Amino acid sequence: MTDVTTGLLPSGRPNADETAKRTKARNAAEARFKLYGIVAIAIGLFFLVALLFSIITNGVGAFQQTFVKVSIPLNAEQIAAAEKSVVKTSKYRAMIEAALADKIMAAGYKTEFTDPRKLGDILSSSAAAQLREHVLANPGDAGKTIDFQFLASSRVDGYLKGRVTRAALAEDKNLDAGHLDLVDQMKADGTVVKHFNWDFITGSDASDSRPEQAGIGVSMLGSLFMMLVVLFLALPIGVAASIYLEEFAPQNRWTDLIEVNIANLAAVPSIVFGILGLAAFIQFANLPQSAPLVGGLVLTLMTLPTIIISTRASLKAVPPSIREGALGIGASKMQAVFHHVLPLAMPGILTGTIIGLAQALGETAPLLLIGMVGFIASNYPDGIADGFLHPNSAMPAQIFEWAKRADPAFYERAWGGIIILLIFLAIMNITAIILRRRFERRW
């Protein structure tokens, strides 16, 4: 071993030069690795920011809506005549259009249109229903002139938000550029106003002809009822199953098999649970279609493995000395578990449950199969039983439905819905983090 050229000392260890070189190489490798890590994080952050930016820029418009102020003289005879016809709203519509035409004449706006029907195109078709609702609720108003704020049609709204241009209206039969000239004049003197629209957050879904009226409120209730079902079924079942498996069950081939299956179940695609739900709950058990109860049951199946796995992990994290101490002073096994182990594991269990619920809240695929996607979230449920059994949609299903409708105005609402859904998910995840931080104990 006298060959010095290899950089080794006669003792077999590297000489100083060689050591310095190797140290440098190792340090460089470490610096490179750090750099890769930072680049990875930067890429992740970039995508997150890009995603949030596109969601917010696309969706924030949905929270603002354009309204047109019109005063309508309510005439008892006209109302009585309208109530006698089959399509009552079309008669109310005529009253609104006449009032709007009068207003335009009186204010001296310049417009090429003279037909009240044509002028009425700037109003949403929901205006007639709004008027009728007011008339039915306030019969004493007959004979008075009442000020109303009606939704503007989606294209007028799109124009004020910059989505609809004059050029785009050239081939559009719903609105003409002449309407936009009128809207410009009405906006200048405050007849057309744009303000925050609570109805987007609390309202019900609307048909394809009036995207301006659609809101996510009813489907939010649908999601709420589904989450109640998931919470009240998945939490007790999941916790009971995990306590048994973790604390009482013997370790044998059967429990091993169950464990493997629970882990597998957690990885099953959610649409499979939808097919199962359709077959088991609707076709076999005859539960009603499109009902949040069924949606909740399906999502319970999906959430159970998540809850079981996280509960078992937090039970495992409780040190055996606690159990042994309790057993040592004469507690029964059940007392040891319920008085000592479970309370200590609770923060972890709740965290797991909240994350499971958040997952279930954002799930769409299984709902497709049990009839919760479509024009469904149109009625507020009357009461609790109705809330569970009445057809309803859910937030992600509603967003999906909006995204596939023809009118581009629905697209904006889909993004707006995503913002609301994200806010809910963020709240749930933050709660989970706070719970874990405050109550978690380390041994």
Partner 1 sequence: MKKFLLSTAAAAVVAAGSAGAAAARDQIQIAGSSTVLPYASIVAEAFGENTDFPTPVVESGGSSAGLKRFCEGVGENTIDIANASRKIKEKEIKTCAENGVKDIIEVRIGYDGIVFASQKDGPAFNAFTPADWFNALGAKVLKDGKLVENPNMTWADANGELPAVEIAAFIPGTKHGTREVFEEKVLKQGCEDSGAMKAMEDAGMSEKDAEKACMAVRTDGKAVDIDGDYTETLARIDSNKDGIGVFGLAFYENNTDKLKVATMSGITPSTETIASGEYPVSRPLFFYIKKAHIGAIPGLKEYAEFFVSEEIAGPKGPLAQYGLVADPELAKTEEQVANEVTMGSM
Closest approach, Cβ 255 to partner 1, in A, equals 30
- Of 322-341, binders to partner 1 (CB under 8 A) are none
* x-or-dash string of contact with partner 1, 51-90, rule CB under 8 A: -----------------------------------xxxxx
For the record, the structure tokens of 200 come out as 């987007």
Contact call for residue 199 and partner 1 (CB under 8 A): yes
Q: In this chain, which of 288, 422, 424, 439 binds partner 1, going by CB under 8 A?
A: 288
Q: In this chain, which of 42, 385, 427, 434 binds partner 1, going by CB under 8 A?
A: 385
Q: Is 192 exposed, middle or buried (0-12, 13-18, 19+ CB in 10 A)?
A: buried
d(CA 373, CA 367): 7
d(CA 205, CA 405): 12
Q: Is 385 exposed, middle or buried (0-12, 13-18, 19+ CB in 10 A)?
A: exposed
User: Closest Cα partner for 179 from 206, 207, 160, 151?
Assistant: 160
How many chain residues are in contact with partner 1, going by CB under 8 A? 69
Sheet containing 192-196: which strands, arranged edge to edge?
A: 145-151, 64-73, 192-196
**What angle, rounded to 10 degrees, do the helices at 395-403 and 217-243 form?**
130
Q: In this chain, which of 231, 315, 349, 418 binds partner 1, going by CB under 8 A?
A: 231
Q: In this chain, which of 12, 250, 320, 383 binds partner 1, going by CB under 8 A?
A: 383
Contact call for residue 315 and partner 1 (CB under 8 A): no
Contact call for residue 256 and partner 1 (CB under 8 A): no
Contact call for residue 162 and partner 1 (CB under 8 A): no
60 or 129: CB nearest partner 1: 129
224 or 249: CB nearest partner 1: 224
User: Closest Cα partner for 398 from 367, 423, 354, 369?
Assistant: 367
Give, as one character, the DSSP assignment of residue 278: I
The residue assigned the tokens 């709950």 is 281
For the record, the structure tokens of 124 come out as 């949403």
Q: Are 224 and 237 in contact (CB under 8 A)?
A: no
Main-chain phi, psi angles of 7, to 5 degrees:
85, 10
Q: What is the dihedral of CA 142, 144, 145, 149, to 10 degrees?
A: -50
User: Closest Cα partner for 296 from 364, 241, 223, 246?
Assistant: 223
- Of 132-151, binders to partner 1 (CB under 8 A) are 132
Q: In this chain, which of 66, 124, 290, 311 binds partner 1, going by CB under 8 A?
A: 290
Q: In this chain, which of 341, 360, 376, 428 binds partner 1, going by CB under 8 A?
A: 376
Q: In this chain, which of 406, 438, 442, 443 binds partner 1, going by CB under 8 A?
A: 406
Closest approach, Cβ 203 to partner 1, in A, equals 8
* x-or-dash string of contact with partner 1, 166-185, rule CB under 8 A: -xx-xxxxx-----------
Contact call for residue 293 and partner 1 (CB under 8 A): yes
Interface ranges with partner 1 (CB under 8 A): 86-90, 125, 128-129, 132, 164-165, 167-168, 170-174, 198-199, 202, 206-210, 217-218, 221, 224-225, 228-229, 231-233, 282-283, 286-290, 293, 371, 373-376, 378-391, 403-408
